[in-house]
Amino acid sequence: MDQAVVSGAGFITGVLLARFLGLSSYGVFAMSWLVVLFFGSIQQAFIIAPLQTLLPKKEKEEKDAFLNMMFLQQLLFALLVAAITYLFCRFSTVMFFDSLELRSVEIIMPLAVLTYLMNEYFRKLFFVEGRSRTALVLDLISYSTQIVGLVAVAYLHQLNLQRAIIIIALSNSISSTYGLLKTKSLQWHFQEFGTHLRETWNYSGWLIGTSLLQWFSGNFFIVTAGGILGPVSVGAIRMAQNIIGVLNILFLAMENFIPTNAAKIYHEKGLKNLYAYLRQVMLLAGAATFMLILCIVVFSSQIIDFLYGHDYIKYENVLFGFALLYLFVFTGLLLRFFIRTVEKNRDIFISYVLSAGFSLILAAPMVSTFGMAGVFAGLIVTQIIVQVWYLYSLKSELTIVWK
């Protein structure tokens, strides 16, 4: 239910912004929001992954101290990132981007990043603690205020890029305040923070490097499309991604509980049972993924016309590209769960070194030569590169369970 709220609200937000901002301004919004997603990917590696995987392995008396240190780590990280975002936006608008729309958001973007990161931390924390209802209320607060705010300002014909980001930041501020009030009493022992930081770094060091490479691997083709084909192309990509994003209800729900369950099974029952668990998940979730993608492809024209209007149907091929891409995204997700659980995070890093290298070298010529087809060909090849390396790195574990 919670993931349906998150993905459904993200879907509605995307439709509202595309309709009321127009495809070009929506493309600028999508480019700006990549900054938030960039730091969110680092948070996933540095904060969320250790929280999900290391906490279940702690003894009962160690868990409270670990959670207290994790919150301190999250708070310091979010404040640092907000400062970096301000400096980046200020430098970028002065040196590179002569755009009134981008300059209008350079003050609000640090707050948007800060509140997004804090909201995401509380949400994942409540799931790890088994407090799913609290996480659901958190997201209901965040996304209901966000959608109501966007609709109200759009109704008054006052919605623009700056106001859209302000509304999103304020909604996350309200929900983050609720999350803080629902957090168990915090007792910080700063002398222990160094030891805690070393522990989480030993686990997440490779994952942080991986998250940076993964961001470039997954987004560099989109950034290149914006630079070569213009913001309208990015708006079209985000429009199609918003439709296919219904699968994120499944994918992100899997991200919420599978790492923790997998860690418990591996710790208590061993490799064979871990493999059996992930195989069962792949069969069930894979069938659901394929059926959803098939429905989207068959009714693509009707879906685009209903949500965005008849003028957007000409971007139907972009939706087909995402449908094919998400089949590869699904298989990569499960392989990554396997690798994270057996703590072979270095191999995740290597896989994204290879795919990011491919993106940095070939994105510009592929997009220049083949246009939007080059964007999706590149995104699919990066997924294939990553997953081939995953399978190679897991050969010893797979040999054991197959025998």
Residue-by-residue DSSP string for 109-158: HHHHHHHHHHHHHHHHHHHHTT-HHHHHHHHHHHHHHHHHHHHHHHHTT-
Q: How far apart are CA 393 and CA 323, in angstroms?
A: 28
Within-domain flag for 270:
yes
From 401, 289, 282, 392, select the one nearest 344 (Cα to Cα): 392
pLDDT of residue 113: 93
Within-domain flag for 385:
yes
Residue 265 contacts residue 274 (beta carbons within 8 Å): yes
Task: Read off the pTM.
Answer: 0.74
Residue 163 shares a structural domain with residue 295: no
Within-domain flag for 200:
no
Within-domain flag for 105:
yes
Residue 173 shares a structural domain with residue 244: no
Within-domain flag for 197:
no
> To which H or E segment does residue 269 belong?
helix 248-269
Q: How far apart are CA 281 and CA 273, in angstroms?
A: 12
Domain stop point among 188, 218, 234: 188
Contacts of 334 (CB under 8 A, 6+ apart): 278, 281, 282, 285
Calculate ∠ Cα 275-291-278, nearest 5°: 5
Within-domain flag for 158:
yes
For residue 285, the Cα-to-chain-centroid distance in whole angstroms is 19
Residue 344 shares a structural domain with residue 277: yes
Residue 80 shares a structural domain with residue 50: yes
The pLDDT profile of the chain, 403 residues, written as one tens digit per residue, is 887 888 888 889 988 998 888 887 888 888 888 888 889 989 998 999 888 888 877 777 778 888 888 888 999 999 999 999 888 777 765 544 555 556 667 788 899 999 999 999 999 999 888 889 999 999 999 999 999 999 999 999 898 888 999 999 999 999 999 999 998 767 666 777 888 888 888 888 878 877 788 787 778 888 888 878 877 888 888 888 888 877 877 887 787 778 888 888 888 888 888 888 888 888 888 898 899 999 999 999 999 888 887 878 888 899 999 899 999 999 888 888 888 888 787 888 888 889 989 998 999 999 999 988 999 999 999 999 999 999 998 888 888 877 7
Residue 60 shares a structural domain with residue 106: yes
Within-domain flag for 343:
yes
Tokens matching residue 226 = 């914006």
Domain stop point among 122, 157, 188: 188
For residue 117, the Cα-to-chain-centroid distance in whole angstroms is 11
Residue 46 shares a structural domain with residue 90: yes
Cα radius of gyration (the chain): 21
Unique residue bearing structure tokens 């499944």? 250
Residue 359 shares a structural domain with residue 296: yes
Host domain of residue 287: 206-403
Q: How far apart are CA 42 and CA 25, in angstroms?
A: 27
Q: How far apart are CA 141 and CA 177, in angstroms?
A: 10
Provide the domain count of the chain: 2
Unique residue bearing structure tokens 């957090």? 183
pLDDT of residue 62: 78
pLDDT of residue 101: 59
Residue 243 contacts residue 304 (beta carbons within 8 Å): yes
Residue 179 shares a structural domain with residue 286: no
Within-domain flag for 182:
yes
Residue 229 shares a structural domain with residue 373: yes
Calculate ∠ Cα 363-366-367, nearest 5°: 80
Residue 166 shares a structural domain with residue 225: no
Residue 224 shares a structural domain with residue 176: no
Domain stop point among 153, 188, 223: 188
Residue 354 has a CB neighbour count (10 Å cut-off) of 16
Tokens matching residue 35 = 């900054």
Residue 135 shares a structural domain with residue 210: no
